Structure 1
């Protein structure tokens, strides 16, 4: 998808407004402040006092703040938005920004439902603005290194993630029906798509809650995805597994025709037998700083970054398919999930231009409407952004 370009970068910093000043919002405020290619020009939050306090905590008590985006954007000359609101607010805030002529970098998930995710991808098309989602774990140098190892193993039979943690969050996560699948597993699912360079076909998932769990909903899950070319991606995880916990990135193992690669989620990945690296190591910014850098580069060059809305929607499709499989106790086709989400998106859409884009997509193959927008595997935006 083509999108509007902006003359920005270290010599002409991108003027950004951050929407949301909660815990994650503050992390983004610091990232935007620290990056030489961006300038923080305002904070938007429905809680005006929270926005003012966040500005003060940055050492910028005079930074403009507001409860609504459009007026502040006009007053500050903002050029783009970082949306760090709660998932239910992702759709209205991002849509408003895109049609105000402001490209958006949003926190994961792309939206609270797949139907709204499709609406946002269509809104990006209709507005001609870039909408990118920050799946921050993609910008991990060791994940790039693991993908490089997989490329030397020939055909991949299975890719496995084990994720075992025991956090006591309190609040909404402990009340969700599927806290692990809905709030956490998308990181691993998205990373699996990145590592394999393949999209999901179907899934069988079992979700359950151990008797000692402090969660109301199912805090454990086992999912088997069939990916393109027949590779199986296996996800085993729990949020109520005390002792011998894995990294927050999980523990990974890939079995291929020429060997096996492993990654503990923290140290350098290894392969047995050794595999010669065929790509330059990723040496760009990591985590959310990496996503921010890619967003600015894409706006400057007109390129397509990892996490562009069309491409990222497939990670949320994996989540919704896994939840449906757990609920129905049957194997679920990802295409069927996409088709139902598309029908709901068309029915719910109120903007004529967005509805026209959605209606132009073939409801029998939403996958094709989302495809063809992936970044080139070796592009500067997807593999080796230049160091700052």
Structure 2
């Protein structure tokens, strides 16, 4: 197997026409980003509520843009080049499958799907379609993160990577009532970042969840997880969403201990390194192809377009991204069972559930995999973040 290939967008260098599906709060942020981007133009807005879709288009300064409740119908009327899926996680599977069936590449919000079995079905569907499916892990698009990775390479073999994440947001709404609010809604960002920094994949995890007595969340809003990563490195995450005072960055506070020294990053400013015997810095880690276009979702959008123009495999391509969701699923299972969980066992269970739910060519492809890990890593051979 080789690195993923997908159909590029040929023709002139006109901005790509995109339909945004999902017009809630995050959908409006994406609409603003689309309207500000020189790489794309808005072709339409889809939402289950037609009034919400129309209001979002008007708020984005595009009252003339077609809106509707049905992606297939709006795509037939507007001839888009791609879809941006900003729906709730439960809708990621049907929306992405629908877009791929229309021959449209997809840029989706994290997580790749609501569940790991659904993520495997989408991985197979994207592979069969020959279209790009990229997940926007927006916190990777941070120049300080790339500088941190540059400096980490000087430390020799990594030993321990830690993240501390302490904030006290009062969201209201669904997060206050959900199970595993921190793990399911936020932890995928640092878990994904850890994979990127270490160039390593999870092997196992032991995780505990808990709730301070003053917590305003129904589910456990604090957690500690210890991951064994390939190569023997340990990644330790400790976080809380109900810790007022001395709060960390939303990116967390990081420390990497290696054989030749250590590096710390507060999530916002340049990392600090103490490694007197380390070799001088080499060539910098290449930023994403579109790194100059800005951070966050703007960076993800620009890299998506660059990938469609050039065929370069972007960060967040579905095969590469699934293991970040697998880390979340394994951590939840470990916290629920109070035991160490092996990632390959979680992947095998997810594969069995995906096979039971899928049909046709998707089911056949998933069934042909020698293992989930092999299928994902063999199809994600391009170095992460390289153009």
Q: TM-score range by the shorter chain?
A: over 0.9
Aligned residue number for residue 324 of structure 1: 333
Pairwise CA distance, 1:7: 2.2
Find the aligned partners of 1:345 and 1:81 in 2 and give their Cα distance. 24
TM-score, structure 2 as length reference? 0.95
Is 2:91 the partner of 1:89?
A: yes
Partner SS for 2:250: coil
**Correspondence 1:160 to 2:166:** no
2:355 counterpart residue number: 346
Query: 2:313 aligned with 1:310, yes or no?
Result: no
Write the deviation string for residues 338-385 of structure 1: whole angstroms up to 9, x where unpaired: 0000000010114x12111111112xx21001112336338xxx24x6
- Cα RMSD for the two superposed structures: 1.4
- Per the alignment, residue 29 of structure 2 pairs with 27
The offset of 1:145, in angstroms, is 0.8
Residue 11 of structure 2 is aligned to residue 5 of structure 1: no
How far did 1:8 drift?
6.6
CA shift digits 1:165-204 (9 cap, x unpaired) = 0011111111111000010000000000000000000000
CA contact (8 A) 1:306 1:374 kept: no
Shift of 1:73: 0.8
What is the SS of the residue equivalent to 2:326? Answer: helix
Measure the CA separation in 1 of the matches of 2:238 and 2:149: 20
Offset from partner CA, 1:219-260 (integer Å, 9 cap, x none): 000000000000000000000101100000000000000100
Q: Secondary structure at the match of 2:224?
A: strand
Corresponding residue for residue 63 of structure 1: 65
Instruction: Find the aligned partners of 1:127 and 1:59 in 2 and give their Cα distance.
Output: 34
Does residue 238 (structure 1) correspond to residue 244 (structure 2)? The answer is no
Question: CA separation in 2, counterparts of 1:217 and 1:57?
Answer: 34
Rounded Cα–Cα distance in structure 2 between residues aligned with 1:229 and 1:189: 17
Q: TM-score if structure 1 supplies the norm length?
A: 0.95
Shift of 1:12: 1.5
Aligned counterparts, 1:367-378, within 5 A: 367-374=373-380, 376-377=382-383
User: Which deviates more, 146-155 or 231-240?
Assistant: 146-155
Aligned pairs for 1:1-388 (under 5 A) are 1-7=4-10, 11-273=13-275, 276-280=280-284, 282=287, 283-284=291-292, 285-350=294-359, 352-362=360-370, 365-374=371-380, 376-377=382-383, 382-383=385-386
* Partner secondary structure for residue 271 of structure 1: strand
* Aligned equivalents of 2:136, 2:86: Cα separation in 1: 10
Aligned length: 377
- Preserved CA contact (<8 Å) 2:155 2:275: no
8 A contact 1:125–1:357 mirrored in 2: no
CA drift at 1:273: 2.5
1:111-135 CA-to-partner distances (Å, cap 9, x unmatched) read 0000000000000011111100000
Q: Distance in 2 between matches of 1:97 and 1:353?
A: 17
